Amino acid sequence: MPQKVISIRPQARIPGSAAPRYDGGPLADLRGRPMRDLRISVTDRCNFRCTYCMPREVFDADYKFLPHDAILSFEEIARLAGIFVGLGVRKIRLTGGEPLLRKDLPKLVEMLAPLGADLTLTTNGSTLVKHAQALKDAGLNRVTVSLDSLDEATFRAMNDADFPVAKVLDGIAAAANAGFTPVKINMVVKRGVNDHQIVDAARYWRDSGHIPRFIEFMDVGSTNGWRMDDVIPSAEVVRRIAEAFPLEPAEANYTGEVAQRWRYRDGAGEIGVISSVTQAFCRDCNRMRLSTEGSLYTCLFAQQGHDLKALLRGGAADEAIRDAIAAVWRQRDDRYSEIRTAETAKSRKVEMSYIGG
Ligand code: SAM
């Protein structure tokens, strides 16, 4: 059982106000990796209590979520996003918490769309029926929906909010009707919890035009009681599916793609596997994360962020903010998944619901 913690938000460092001037050259971190992908957490709240992400024992009625004035406004997010795009970001993912709990999210999408980045959203799908068309009309390009099981009892136990499978399936259908095809469907696989559903999920999404992606259970945060024994390696996921439906590897769509792609030999579509634990992909990681309250994180497993909000609300000009972001990226040396051990897994890391998944 995870231990109750009082605060799981780490102290953020403030980037020096005198960060070196960004010279306009290619931006690379200490391992030569460019910054291409920005994940923005628009809320730290969620209506689910997935046991591997926001366990109810920790995120209970007493848990102090961020107050409204602490979280970035749409105007602040859009301003920062513009600066990130100026520094080379080509893809923006809105996430959380549950991003569709943020009021008027399509309005933020409308503000970000003119930046020209590939604009995507990760959601639990619970309110997509209501929002899919407005998101499409606002300029969202793609949607990823999380759905850990098609089995009612397993899904309700995993989301720990008694939320039914059918409503998420309706959300996926609404997304498809609005023009978000293919929808990517994320399934976090935990041994003994939902791994009996791997082949069923693959079967269900074959020939649907959508792409299920099987994610290794990760040691994000410090509240989900992670143990290596609970991880089903992606190689096993692929083996189990291939036994039922023969697969062959497919080319990555682009460098730094998180999922490894496999396609069915009979042409019934493709699947993806995300193997952060057993086959770390730090070498190509080009992701920067902006937390709900405006701190920058250079790794999903970070223990500390960099407070951009202080600069933003302190009246800094765009150039000063740009220099600070560039300086943070240039100092980046993270490769947590490559050096993960049972010991590092116990370290106090930032929660995924806060930093954005
Ligand atoms: N609420 C949204 C959702 O459900 O998709 C967005 C945020 S959620 C943190 C983003 C993704 O991270 C989801 O697909 C979720 O399943 C995944 N995730 C959360 N905790 C995880 C963990 N410990 N290991 C692997 N994936 C995890």
Pocket test for ligand 1, best of 120, 186, 337, 351 (most atoms within 8 A of CB): 186
| More confident: 53 or 9 | 53
- Pocket flag, ligand 1, residue 291 (CB < 6 Å): no
- Pocket flag, ligand 1, residue 128 (CB < 6 Å): no
Q: Is the pLDDT of residue 12 over 80?
A: no
Mean pLDDT of 243-250: 98
* Protein residue whose Cα sits closest to atom 1 of ligand 1: 98
Q: What is the pLDDT of residues 291-327, one digit of tens each?
A: 999 999 999 988 889 999 999 999 999 999 999 999 9
Rounded distance from Cα 47 to ligand 1 centre (Å): 13
* Protein residue whose Cα sits closest to atom 19 of ligand 1: 53
Question: Which residue bears the tokens 């993270």?
Answer: 334
pLDDT score for 83: 98
pLDDT score for 54: 95
Q: Is the pLDDT of residue 17 over 60?
A: no
pLDDT score for 303: 85
Q: Is the pLDDT of residue 220 over 90?
A: no
Mean pLDDT of 192-206: 98
Pocket test for ligand 1, best of 352, 353, 354, 355 (most atoms within 8 A of CB): 352
- Pocket flag, ligand 1, residue 53 (CB < 6 Å): yes
**Cα separation of 92 and 338, whole Å?**
25
47: burial class by Cβ within 10 Å (0-12, 13-18, 19+)?
middle
Q: Is the pLDDT of residue 7 over 70?
A: no
Q: Using the atom order of ligand 1, give the atom closest to the CA of residue 276.
A: 25
* Protein residue whose Cα sits closest to atom 9 of ligand 1: 357
Q: Is the pLDDT of residue 247 over 50?
A: yes
| More confident: 313 or 24 | 313
Contact between 19 and 326 under an 8 Å Cβ cutoff? The reply is: yes
Among candidates 98, 68, 104, which has minimal Cα distance to 357?
A: 98
- Pocket flag, ligand 1, residue 146 (CB < 6 Å): yes
Question: Which residue bears the tokens 């949607």?
Answer: 143
pLDDT score for 16: 55
Q: Is the pLDDT of residue 331 over 60?
A: yes
DSSP string, 134-178: HHHHHT--EEEEE---SSHHHHHHHHSS---HHHHHHHHHHHHHH
Contact between 117 and 91 under an 8 Å Cβ cutoff? The reply is: yes
pLDDT band at residue 174 using 50, 70 and 90 as cut-offs: very high
pLDDT band at residue 11 using 50, 70 and 90 as cut-offs: low
Q: Where are the beta strands (DSSP E) in 190-301?
A: 211-216, 247-249, 260-264, 270-274, 287-290, 295-297
- Pocket flag, ligand 1, residue 124 (CB < 6 Å): yes
- Pocket flag, ligand 1, residue 95 (CB < 6 Å): yes
Question: Which residue bears the tokens 């765009």?
Answer: 318
- Pocket flag, ligand 1, residue 337 (CB < 6 Å): no
Sign of CA dihedral 168, 204, 273, 262: negative
Rounded distance from Cα 53 to ligand 1 centre (Å): 7
Q: Is the pLDDT of residue 126 over 80?
A: yes
User: Per mean pLDDT, which range of 19-28, 253-262, 344-353 is the poorest?
Assistant: 344-353
pLDDT score for 2: 33
What percent of the chain is modeled with pLDDT above 90? 81
Rounded distance from Cα 277 to ligand 1 centre (Å): 15
Among candidates 85, 65, 81, which has minimal Cα distance to 73?
A: 81
Contact between 340 and 219 under an 8 Å Cβ cutoff? The reply is: yes
* Protein residue whose Cα sits closest to atom 23 of ligand 1: 218
Rounded distance from Cα 8 to ligand 1 centre (Å): 17
Among candidates 175, 36, 212, which has minimal Cα distance to 118?
A: 36
pLDDT score for 20: 86
- Pocket flag, ligand 1, residue 295 (CB < 6 Å): no
Length of the chain: 357
**Per-residue tokens: 286:** 């080009």
Strand partners, 296: 290, 306
Q: Is the pLDDT of residue 143 over 50?
A: yes
Q: Is the pLDDT of residue 189 over 50?
A: yes
Question: Which residue bears the tokens 């100092």?
Answer: 331
**Cα separation of 306 and 304, whole Å?**
7
Pocket test for ligand 1, best of 146, 224, 336 (most atoms within 8 A of CB): 146
Q: What is the pLDDT of residues 58-117, one digit of tens each?
A: 999 999 999 999 999 999 999 999 999 999 999 999 999 999 999 999 999 999 999 999
The whole-chain average pLDDT of the chain stands at: 93
Contact between 88 and 28 under an 8 Å Cβ cutoff? The reply is: no
H/E element holding 343? Answer: helix 342-345
**Per-residue tokens: 23:** 């010279």
